[in-house]
Amino acid sequence: MRRLRAMIVKEIWAVLRDPKSRVVLVVPPLLQLFIFTFATTLEVRNVDIGILDRSSGAHSAEIVSRIAGSPNFQEIRRLESPEALEEAIDRQDVIAAVVIDEDFDRAVTAHRPATIGVVLDGRRSNAAQIVSGYLSQIAGSVGADLSPNIRGDATGGSVVTNWYNPSLDYIWFTLPSLIAIITSVAGLAVTSQTVARERELGTFDQLMVSPLRVHEVLIGKMVPPMLVGLFNGTLYLIVAPLVFGVPFTGSLILFYLSLVAYMLALIGIGMLVSAASATQQQAFLGSFLVTTPLILLSGYASPIDNMPGWLQVVTYANPARYFLVIVQGLFLKAMPAAAVFHQLWPLILIACLTLSAAAWLFRARME
């Protein structure tokens, strides 16, 4: 225990010795949480819409006014001809253009089916689909107001209830996910430098001739990134409800238990990168190489179900996949212990495998 305690103290001082490094461990993750929470929005706002109104009647004017009054659209551009519409889409001046034909108002007045056309910029496919949904809702609301009999009586309507996120606020989804993402970036960055820093500074040879055993060296190097991860996780846990209003409805014990297992899995990956690197620059590049697929294959940027089958199999080796489900569930829906452990045991398995591989590689490099 004396040797282990000395190794832990030595590693903590190695991380905290430089005042700049102390600031880097706390300030950038906190800034990232604030910036990315607002930047990674799932909504489409402040986009420009083109209008080619050939009807120029009262009903078409109602549609145009409702589009202009939507908070999702920034500017409504009047288009005079199909050529102007094509040019606006081609130059990306607008993401979508609404086309209202000449007989639109006559058809509405005569109680005949009336349609409007929408031209979307397919180069921005995801945003275009969301804008199409906005326009469909606006057109549907106008049609319901013009033909109230189509809706039937009030008793035949439907009531929609959104569970876990009643207001459909995107921050409630993105912020818990960012806790997993930012924690992984910080954890990998700190861990990947440990062995590489020793080798570059020339102190790795001292470890080889010291009475320290391999597992004592590894445990000592695991403690600082674990403490950094727990500190950042606690900080995010406090900031989320107090600043952004995202409720934490689950168990704190399950949260910290999952966070420890997640950090152990990340530390094992970081130790592998660090043990395989000869310099800190190589370790930095190696951690960046690992971090990118870790984020993209976690289900944060795009659903895992939308990925190809072979790539879905690869995601089972990604610890962020499991912790993302846990942290979202604990924040928003008070995930029970049984559901947490269903996601937790793969994390523990990944941690055991990565830490064992890191210990083997570290022992091989020492010999």
Residue 205 included in any domain: yes
pLDDT tens digits, 293-325:
888 898 887 888 888 989 999 999 999 999 999
Q: Are residues 103 and 249 in the same domain?
A: no
- The boundaries of the domain holding residue 115 are 47-156
Q: ∠75-76-77 over CA atoms, to 5°?
A: 110
Q: How far apart are CA 134 and CA 140, in angstroms?
A: 10
Handedness of CA 105, 111, 113, 118 (dihedral sign): positive
Strand ordering across the sheet containing 73-78:
73-78, 47-53, 96-100, 117-120
Whether residues 204 and 311 fall in one domain = yes
Beta strand 117-120 with 47-53: parallel, antiparallel or unpaired? Answer: unpaired
Q: Is residue 220 within 8 Å of 4, Cβ to Cβ?
A: yes
Angle, in degrees to the nearest 10, between helices 214-243 and 170-191: 160
For residues 273 and 324, membership in a common domain is answered with yes
pTM summary value: 0.76
What confidence score (pLDDT) does residue 154 get?
Answer: 43
**Domain final position from 156, 186, 209:** 156
The reported pLDDT for the residue numbered 208 is 64
| Residue 7 forms part of a structural domain | no
**Size (the chain), residues:** 367
Task: For the chain, 367 residues long, give each residue's pLDDT as a single digit of tens.
Answer: 777 777 777 777 766 676 666 666 777 777 878 888 777 776 778 889 999 988 888 888 888 898 888 888 888 899 888 899 999 999 989 999 999 888 888 888 888 888 888 999 988 888 888 888 888 888 888 877 776 554 444 444 556 677 888 877 788 888 888 888 888 877 787 777 777 777 776 666 666 666 667 677 777 778 888 888 888 889 889 988 998 888 899 999 999 999 999 999 998 898 888 878 777 788 888 888 888 888 889 888 788 888 898 999 999 999 999 999 999 999 988 899 999 999 999 999 999 999 888 888 877 766 6
User: Residues 67, 134: one domain?
Assistant: yes
| CB 359, CB 211: distance < 8 Å | no
Structure confidence at residue 349 (pLDDT): 95
Residue 195 confidence (pLDDT): 72
- HSE-CB of 69 using CA atoms within 13 angstroms: 7
pLDDT on residue 258: 94
CATH of the domain at 108: 3.40.1710.10
213 plus 322 within the same structural domain: yes
Q: Are residues 125 and 33 in the same domain?
A: no
Q: Are residues 292 and 347 in the same domain?
A: yes
